[in-house]
Chain A
Amino acid sequence: MKDSYVTPDGRTIGGVLMDMRGITLRFGGVEAIKDISFDIREGEIRAIIGPNGAGKSSMLNVISGFYHPQEGEVWFRGAKRPTMRPYDVARQGIARTFQNIALFEGMSVLDNVMCGRLTHMKTGIFSQALWHGAAQREEVENREAVERIIDFLEIQAIRKTPVGRLPYGLKKRVELARALAAEPKLLLLDEPMAGMNVEEKEDMSRFILDVNDEFGTTIALIEHDMGVVMDLSDRVVVMDYGRKIGDGTPDEVRGNQEVIDAYLGVAHD
């Protein structure tokens, strides 16, 4: 495959950003992921699809450092990644959202999004205790960055609202804002459209495309809405029972017999 290419809609896809090589993940006797390899290229939108229980979320958890695979290697930005805790993964520039929203319910929207900047904030506890000089400067700089994200996702009006009071669709958007605030190299979205109505899905799709377009963020997403997946993504990985059964452009995947069997079922004779 070429090192970089230009998509039909004019975006440049770069070299390999993340490379999963022969990942196997077991929970006791259960093999959640069986020897899966795939790569994510810089600037692309990569979808992971598959029926329930296929191991998609486990895969995302491997990438973000919650699970450590028994076999296989994770390569990120051209280097093999050692076994890492999630907070170290975050510092490498990988941010994510969760399938069932994981926001900090007791804090305001602004504080939640500011939390996304934690990896950019360096001042020590003593400087902060005085709230002068470096600590305050840093707070203001990061606040500016956060306000840009808040503008971008159109959540200015709810800035000071406690997250617990927001409706579901907005919570999803705030979670995206928190992940974006980290200015990640790679953004993982676990079912960003789950439980949304058509209008909210359209909004979210637009945001995902805009993020990819404006910030050049690489995105890997899990989604069940096939229409959305086929429209948004550049390449798709299909999983079933922990195995990879398809990998390619949406059109290639759509025509793959194994994929059709996994989704529609096959006759047993």
Chain B
Amino acid sequence: MFYREAGDFKTSYEADSQTFPIKFDRYRFWAVLAVAYLVIPFIINDYWANAILVPFLIYTIAAIGLNILTGYCGQVSLGTGGFMAVGAYAMYKLMTAFPDVSVVIHVFLAGGITAVVGAAFGLPSLRIKGFYLAVATLAAQFFLVWLFNKVEWFYNYSASGQINAPERFVGGIAVTGPNTDAWAKYMICLVFVTVCAIVARNLTRGTVGRKWMAIRDMDIAAEIIGVNPLQAKLSAFAVSSFFIGISGALFFSVYLGAVEVGEAFGIQKSFLVLFMVIIGGLGSIFGSFAGAGFLVLLPVALKVIGVDLLGWPTDIVAHLQLVIIGALIMFFLIKEPHGLAQFWRIAKEKLRLWPFPY
């Protein structure tokens, strides 16, 4: 029908390297953006925001971050939860230390702090690869959680050991704290997702992204064409941690409001984000959205179908969820390592030829 690239000629290299080279894709992208910004904020309620949309947006940022590191640069990381905790605690310290500064700036600063920490924990990647690197980042995960539990300064010596997000406003509207409206939570996350996705896309289609992918595909050949592996790997760790830090800051301040580090940012979080990246698609920004959406929606969908419709006991449904995720991971790893994004790509390729495949 309308999904055609025939006749859609590019006359400049700028036009050829844009994000959505096909006109129909471009229109659809603007349509999605318009719905996200102009329709959803007016119809959103607490349930939709807290159960689906806000966690989806925040996990998307984390998945974009991990995808840059693992999908684009080929460095496996199991430290995502730890780095999210760095973002959250940096956010907390900034919010309490500088209450007059806008939280938007705090979120970016929290991302910056996480980037520095991430780059430091990325140093072992220069010597070790693959499986062994995963174990090294696992150490980061446990160390960071231990650190935030152990050193009282990080939670301002509160008796509970928790951190609580104070109420903060952006343009007179509360975005953190208990009195925040659903649409405000949604909007602030949406803005950050948009910015992060655009930045990630710009980085991955340009020189920096090519360096990362060169390191991923063949590090020896990357070196011979002039890629400094130290720079490339550390920049991947830094950029990845920047996004993960932002997601951690939002997860704590906007979504949860109060956080106990071991519970919110434990090893399960690292695995969850890794599963999102694997299911969504390694090396694809769209895949980060797809993976986050899928894993946020799956438990909700299972609960609606299993408990509400079929009347199964809650614990059975909860266990079933683990089984399904496990099976899906194996399926994707064996059948389609590029995940949902690849299905999407194949569907598009077929659609381009439809209905006359020859």
Give me the interface of A with B, judged by CB distance under 8 Å: 64, 66, 85-87, 89-91, 95-96, 98, 102-107, 111, 114-116, 118-119, 121, 123, 125, 128-131, 135-136, 138-140, 143-144, 147, 178-179, 182
Inter-chain CA distance A129–B199, complex, in Å, is 5
In this complex, the member of A98, A119, A131 whose beta carbon has the largest number of chain B beta carbons within 10 angstroms is A131
Chain B residues whose CB sits within 8 angstroms of the CB of A118 once the complex forms: 207, 210-211, 214, 225-227
Which B-chain residue is minimally distant from A137 (CB atoms)?
B14
B residues 218-263 near A (Cβ < 8 Å) are 218, 220-229, 235, 239
User: Which residues of A are found within 8 Å of B205, using beta-carbon distances?
Assistant: 131
The interface residues of chain A lying within 8 Å CB-to-CB of B211 are 118
Q: Which residues of the other chain, B, contact A111 by a CB distance below 8 angstroms?
A: 210, 213
Interchain CB contact under 8 A, B203 and A125? yes
Q: List 13 A-B contacts (CB under 8 A).
A: A87-B223, A87-B224, A96-B224, A98-B221, A111-B210, A111-B213, A116-B225, A119-B225, A125-B203, A128-B208, A130-B199, A135-B206, A139-B17
- B227 with A87: CB separation less than 8 A: yes
Give Cα A240–Cα B227 distance, bound, in whole angstroms. 33
Cα–Cα distance between A164 and B210 once the two chains are bound (Å) = 16
B216 is an interface residue with CB less than 8 A from chain A: yes
Chain B's closest residue to A175 (CB) is B221
Bound-state CA distance A64–B223 (Å) is: 10
Q: Name A's interface SS.
A: helix
Establish whether residues B223 and A85, one from each chain, have CB atoms under 8 Å apart when the complex forms: yes
Contacts of A143 in B (CB 8 A): 13, 16-17
Residue B283, interface by CB 8 Å: yes
Sample of 7 further A-B pairs with CB below 8 A, known A102-B220, A118-B225, A144-B13: A98-B221, A104-B222, A106-B216, A115-B222, A118-B226, A118-B227, A135-B206
Interface: B202 (CB within 8 A): yes
For A106, give its contact among B213, B220, B222 (CB under 8 Å): B213
Is A104 a contact partner of B226 (Cβ separation < 8 A)? no
Contacts of B223 in A (CB 8 A): 85-87, 90
